[in-house]
Amino acid sequence: MCYDYHGSWNTSATGAHAALFDPKSNVSTSYGLRSWIKAGMPQSKLIMGLPLYGRTWRLKDPKSHGIGAPAVGLGPGDDMGTMTFFQVEMFNKENNATVTYDVKTVSTYSFAGTSWIGYDDTRSTSVKIRFAQALRLRGYFFWAVNGDHEWKISKQASRLWIL
């Protein structure tokens, strides 16, 4: 599981819940995977789990909307502040949300008004899969594939993975 680093258990600030890198801490996929490898786990036994859902927050101030922005609660979605990738795509379209790719964490977030959603899209997922390939991991999996919108991420990922 390379996700759920941030979520409903801390609603004081937004977060990249599946950050490949975190410049402010060691709570990231790269740190976790490299720690397993350093501890002696064969790369051929490691599978990177990627989310097909987003985590949401309600911004304290819509003018402050980056990763780590002050928040005052959960945003749209279910009672845990989650939305499937399909729901994120619909939210973005219906609310004319601003979508931002964050290079530092290799994640995507969108915001509209006080609603903020952190998630992975085809771009961030592609970079993460290439990272897994560079580490020579066994593969990757998605949780949960039924949340993929028009199979966008699944199709992109299957084109990238070379056995």
The CATH number linked to 124 is 3.10.50.10
- Position 162 scores a pLDDT of 61
- Position 75 scores a pLDDT of 98
Tell me whether residue 1 is in a domain: no
Tell me whether residue 69 is in a domain: yes
Bridge partners, 102 (sequence order): 107
Question: pLDDT, tens digit, for every residue of 48-92?
Answer: 999 999 999 999 999 999 999 999 999 999 999 999 999 999 999
* pLDDT tier for residue 161 given thresholds of 50, 70 and 90: confident
Tell me whether residue 23 is in a domain: no
Mean pLDDT value across residues 3-23: 97
Residue 96 CB-density burial (10 A; 0-12 exposed, 13-18 middle, 19+ buried): exposed
Q: Which residue range forms the structural domain that includes residue 74?
A: 29-160
This model's pTM is above 0.75: yes
Work out how many domains the chain is built from and give that number.
1
Find where tokens 């290439």 sit.
130
